[in-house]
């Protein structure tokens, strides 16, 4: 059977961007920049983008495009003994998929709450005690499924399933063609409003004020490199699967640059949005900004709801913010489920409909572990291990295999033969030396910290 294909080039780029832009851009990047030198962080970040992000993206696009398979098949075509690397990546993708969907579920709940700010004034107690019911150890609740968390997760699975089941062009591409422009519009509309609030510019000042002393700090560089791989969805089977649906004639270099630049540009924009809001909140509460900044789950479900309480027209800005979060999350979730589904289609020769049903069905059941009142604990644990160990190890192994076991110059001549602009020797240097050395250092540091 002929492999499915994207309908248009823009469709592919939007889907790749849809995968890359996710919760990580909105709740991880702004805080990371703030923590690691503010404006000065952009130097290591840009460096990581150019020496690791772009080469890695070109490499994965070329693997999918040339070898016409999801990660396991692509790696097995490079060498029969390499297939496991593809399955290792599919495994990482599966694990991320089941907890990421829980966060999308929470965001769907909060989208509902936002219309009336029904989270009340103590957003911290609301999230942890009332919504997640973390402290509730009554026997009837212990390990019990929380229906009010499970139901929005069903909605998220339903949308992902519909896109994957329908297919690459009619489902995934169509979904992203609706979602991505909507996401950009919503974020720009939010910024257009919040930037004029009192204190917003102070927030931006905090974000962008460069602390150049941090540039010499190794931690800042590893933060930048660590963020780049996750934010670009590379190293966990996604971009290989997506690029395996590219038509023969595809400008790999150009597509990779566009995907990376749009993702990183979006991160910058998200940083402006978040810090304008935080600056306003600090001003309203007469607190120093350092007391209101946060990241991750705390930022999205505690700090932002509290900020929304203070905003003008909260019943509009609140729902728009959470809808943006949902859309960013769903387009990433679709990509990660496709990475798993396409690997199974390749291997077992199942129909797309059957593979999509089984993957989403099993994924749904497993993800219900995160809808219990032990969910957050489990999520933190799994997230930590995946981000700080498994994903970095997978990226490092991929670089070593391509850079040292095989001939990376072959990839360069391949992409240069089909792309409009060509890439130079720097590509090989980044794949063989710069990226693996940085990754090895970060992974080593993380492992030492984990076991200490």
- Residues at the interface with ligand PFF (CB under 6 A): 19-20, 22-25, 96-97, 100, 230-231, 233, 332-333, 335-336
Q: DSSP readout, 243-270?
A: HTTS-SS--HHHHHHHHHHHHHHHHHHH
Distance CA 296, CA 26 (A): 9
Q: Please choose, from the candidates 290, 385, 333, 367, the residue with its C-alpha nearest in 3D space to the C-alpha of residue 23.
A: 333
Beta carbon of residue 328, minimum distance to ligand PFF (angstroms, whole number)? 7
CB proximity list for 375: less than 8 A, separation 6 or greater: 102, 132, 146, 149, 369
Distance CA 96, CA 77 (A): 26
DSSP label of 2: P
C-alpha triplet 150, 153, 155: angle, nearest 5°: 120
CB atoms inside a 10 Å sphere around CB 137: 9
Beta carbon of residue 391, minimum distance to ligand PFF (angstroms, whole number)? 10
Residue 233 or 276 having the CB closest to Na ion? 233
Residue 92 or 311 having the CB closest to Na ion? 92
Distance CA 149, CA 429 (A): 47
Residue 22 or 86 having the CB closest to ligand PFF? 22
Residue 24 interacts, among ligand PFF, Na ion, none and using kind-specific CB cut-offs from 5 to 8 Å, with ligand PFF
Beta carbon of residue 26, minimum distance to ligand PFF (angstroms, whole number)? 8
Residue 17 or 396 having the CB closest to Na ion? 17
Q: Is 339 among the residues that bind Na ion (CB under 5 A)?
A: no
Residue 280 or 321 having the CB closest to ligand PFF? 321
CB proximity list for 193: less than 8 A, separation 6 or greater: 312, 317
Distance CA 338, CA 354 (A): 13
Rg, Å, the chain Cα set: 21
Residue 71 or 82 having the CB closest to ligand PFF? 71
CB atoms inside a 10 Å sphere around CB 8: 12
Residue 10 or 43 having the CB closest to Na ion? 10
Q: Is 331 among the residues that bind Na ion (CB under 5 A)?
A: yes
Q: Is 24 among the residues that bind Na ion (CB under 5 A)?
A: no
Q: Is 21 among the residues that bind Na ion (CB under 5 A)?
A: yes
Q: Number of residues interacting with Na ion: please give it, by CB under 5 A.
A: 6
Residue 331 interacts, among ligand PFF, Na ion, none and using kind-specific CB cut-offs from 5 to 8 Å, with Na ion
Beta carbon of residue 9, minimum distance to Na ion (angstroms, whole number)? 19
Beta carbon of residue 282, minimum distance to ligand PFF (angstroms, whole number)? 26
Residue 23 interacts, among ligand PFF, Na ion, none and using kind-specific CB cut-offs from 5 to 8 Å, with ligand PFF
Beta carbon of residue 159, minimum distance to Na ion (angstroms, whole number)? 12
C-alpha triplet 281, 228, 359: angle, nearest 5°: 95
The binding site for Na ion (CB under 5 A) comprises: 18, 21-22, 328, 331-332
């Amino acid at each position: 059977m002929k492999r499915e294909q994207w309908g248009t080039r823009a469709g592919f780029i939007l889907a790749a961007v849809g995968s890359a832009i996710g919760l990580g851009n909105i709740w991880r990047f702004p805080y990371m920049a703030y923590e690691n030198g503010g404006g000065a962080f952009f130097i290591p970040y840009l460096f990581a983008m150019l020496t690791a992000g772009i080469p890695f993206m070109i490499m994965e696009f070329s693997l999918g495009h040339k070898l016409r398979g999801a990660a396991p098949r692509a790696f097995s075509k490079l060498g029969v003994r390499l297939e496991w690397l593809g399955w290792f990546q599919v495994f990482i993708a599966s694990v991320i998929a089941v907890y990421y969907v829980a966060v999308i579920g929470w965001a769907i709940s909060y989208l509902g709450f936002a219309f009336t700010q029904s989270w009340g004034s103590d957003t911290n107690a609301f999230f942890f005690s009332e919504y997640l019911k973390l402290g509730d150890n009554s026997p009837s609740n212990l390990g019990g499924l929380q229906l009010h968390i499970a139901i929005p997760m069903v909605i998220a699975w339903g949308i992902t399933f519909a896109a994957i089941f329908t297919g690459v062009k009619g489902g995934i591409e169509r979904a992203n063609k609706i979602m991505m422009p909507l996401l950009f519009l919503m974020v720009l509309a939010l910024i257009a409003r919040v930037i004029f609030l009192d204190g917003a510019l102070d927030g931006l000042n905090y974000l962008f004020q460069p602390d150049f002393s941090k540039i010499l700090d190794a931690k800042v560089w590893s933060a930048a490199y660590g963020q780049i791989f996750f934010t670009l969805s590379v190293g966990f089977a996604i971009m290989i699967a997506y690029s395996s649906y590219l038509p023969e004639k595809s400008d790999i270099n150009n597509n990779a640059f566009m995907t990376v630049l749009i993702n990183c540009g979006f991160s910058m924009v998200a940083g402006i949005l978040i810090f304008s809001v935080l600056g306003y909140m600090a001003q309203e509460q007469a607190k120093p900004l350092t007391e209101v900044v946060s990241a991750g789950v705390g930022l999205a479900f505690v700090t932002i709801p509290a900020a929304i309480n203070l905003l003008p027209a909260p019943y509009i800005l609140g729902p728009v913010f959470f809808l943006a979060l949902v859309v960013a999350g769903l387009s990433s979730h679709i990509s990660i489920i496709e990475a798993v589904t396409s690997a199974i289609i390749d291997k077992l020769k199942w129909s797309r409909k059957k593979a999509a049903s089984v993957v989403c069905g099993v994924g749904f059941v497993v993800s219900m572990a995160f809808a219990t009142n032990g969910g957050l604990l489990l999520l933190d644990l799994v997230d930590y291990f995946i981000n700080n160990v498994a994903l970095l190890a997978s990226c490092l192994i991929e670089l070593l295999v391509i850079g040292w076991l095989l001939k990376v110059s072959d990839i360069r001549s391949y992409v240069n033969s089909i792309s409009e602009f060509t890439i130079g020797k720097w590509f090989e240097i980044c794949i063989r030396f710069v990226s693996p050395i940085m990754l090895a250092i970060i992974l080593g540091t993380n492992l030492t910290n984990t076991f200490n």
